[in-house]
Structure 1
């Protein structure tokens, strides 16, 4: 699969590295040509260039790994390049004090979809620190990591489920894109518990057998 990566930060590095190892052709696009070239060299990418170059390359999928808020700036002028593309949003709209920046408004993934209405947006990969995505594979207590996936397009969801499996993880259907805000709010809660209070968040929910009473 040809995957265009928008961004040169830690998430772009971690996910791009794993997908390149899985045999996908990965192209790194960045706003800083030097950073894009450096990341491409580190992960063994098929190439590097501008954000537009990466979007046009990614006819299999395009990873949006830019900071929250950047999409509304860059996607309008990339709208033609991502039209029809599977656009994977891994970002978290979490601010100071672990506040959810989209509270009472559209989810970050929904804002991307509005900024690039022709793209097929799927929310995934936002619940874990980049170090987890570097694990090969992420397995804890003998259980593969579960990755919630939200989207409205069946074919796009199939593509992202495969990308999840390529990391050695298990995709979980979390509903349509309208539920992406719930996944983003979960990230804000968990990051606040993990980072802010040092809480093992696995302890806040019972095993499935006991979830229904």
Structure 2
């Protein structure tokens, strides 16, 4: 598959590099052309840089939007993502809260994914890959205690969600369809909550019982 990576930071490099190694045709496009060239060189496996984010957005079947949350709507609008193209949002709209832990800047809605959809009308936006630090996406594969990492996916278009699920599988992760795009609000808030627990030395996984106990005694 042809994949355009919009951005050249750590998330762009981690995910783009893994997809290049998995055999996808990957290009990087960023406002800083030198950083895009560097990202492509580090990815290897035929990855290359293109002139700017707009070229990356128009390159293939899917584009990953991996830029800082503060500029993501501006970049999405300027990239001119074509109608029907799958646009993957991996951003985390976070700011340090009064209690010293991250809080979502989109808590009152709409989610960042919905804002991206408004900035790029016609694009089929899927929220994915935002829960984990970029270092996790460099693992081959991301498996912990024998269990592959699960990747929640929020999107309105079933075909787009299926395509992104395939990209998650290519990383060695397990895709988990998590509902339509408005549920990205919950995913962004849950990610902020989990990051707050990690910051304070707690394990978010320990908060939740296994599925067979989730509804009460087995």
Q: Distance in 1 between matches of 2:149 and 2:50?
A: 30
Structure 1 partner of 2:214: 211
- 2:153 corresponds to which of 149, 152, 162: 149
Instruction: String of CA shifts for 1:49-70, please: whole Å, max 9, x gaps.
Output: 210111111x211000011132
Query: Does 1:186 pair with 2:187?
Result: no
Cα RMSD of the aligned pairs, angstroms, is 1.0
Query: Does 1:140 pair with 2:152?
Result: no
Q: Distance in 1 between matches of 2:214 and 2:106?
A: 29
Structure 1 residue 40, shift from structure 2 partner: 0.7
- Give the conservation status (yes or no) of the 8 Å contact 2:10–2:134: yes
Structure 1 residue 46, shift from structure 2 partner: 3.4
Structure 1 residue 76, shift from structure 2 partner: 2.3
Displacement over 4 Å in runs of 4+: none
Q: Distance in 1 between matches of 2:132 and 2:16?
A: 15
TM-score by length of 2: 0.93
Query: Does 1:122 pair with 2:122?
Result: no
Structure 1 residue 211, shift from structure 2 partner: 0.5
Query: Once structures 1 and 2 are overlaid, which stretch shifts more, 40-49 or 160-169?
Result: 40-49
Equivalences for residues 40-59 of structure 1 within 5 A: 40-44=40-44, 45-57=47-59, 59=60
Q: Distance in 2 between matches of 1:167 and 1:151?
A: 19
Query: Does 1:3 pair with 2:3?
Result: yes
Query: Once structures 1 and 2 are overlaid, which stretch shifts more, 94-103 or 169-178?
Result: 94-103
TM-score by length of 1: 0.96
Structure 1 partner of 2:17: 17
- Give the conservation status (yes or no) of the 8 Å contact 2:41–2:48: no
Structure 2 partner of 1:103: 107
Q: Distance in 2 between matches of 1:124 and 1:90?
A: 5
Structure 2 partner of 1:169: 173
Gaps of 5+ in 2: none
